[in-house]
Amino acid sequence: MPRFEVVTLIHAPVELVFDTSLSVETHTSSMRASQERAVAGVTSGQLTLGDQVTWQARHFGIVWRLTSTISAFTRPSFFVDEQVAGPFHRWHHAHHFQATTDGTVMRDIIDFAAPFGPLGVLAEFLVLRRHMTKLILLRNQHIKALTEAATHNAG
């Protein structure tokens, strides 16, 4: 099963970065290029433990739906979102937040698996790992820009 990790240093307080990461609006605005939107469950505001949301987005020219739940939550240091229905055989995204003297280190650890056995493994290797990493990097840069701007404007 593929796993990848993305680490992002953000010059903003850990509580702000954590809360911004759980915002439906932040997520949809970070994924504007794929027309991602929340279509069921919690469709606006802040997600918390036990919340479910169904996301709809266009990737590779196909409209996909993925329902995820917040399955673990310890504010402001950790939460997990994982797929309960959707295109992946498995999708588990652990979000870690650590306060530092420079702000916050945000660490995303993603474990995923495509369906369809050997064909899915081939898709993971050829396309999915790179595509998913790109999406997480895009999301994290958006969170970084939002929270650093808010911190700068508040100071």
Q: How far is CA 141 from the centre of its chain?
A: 12
Residues of the chain with pLDDT > 70, as a percent, come to 99
The whole-number pLDDT of residue 35 equals: 92
Residue 117 Ramachandran class (φ > 0 left, ψ -120 to 50 alpha, else beta):
left
Task: Please state the domain extents for the chain.
Answer: 3-154
pTM, entire model: 0.94
pLDDT score for 155: 67
> Could you report the per-residue pLDDT of 78-134, keeping only the tens digit for each?
999 999 999 999 999 999 999 999 999 999 999 999 888 888 777 778 788 999 999
One of 3.40.30.10, 3.30.530.20, 3.30.160.20, 3.40.50.720 is the CATH number of 3-154, namely 3.30.530.20
Structure tokens at 122: 């081939």
> Rounded to the nearest 5°, which phi and psi values hold at 121?
-60, -40
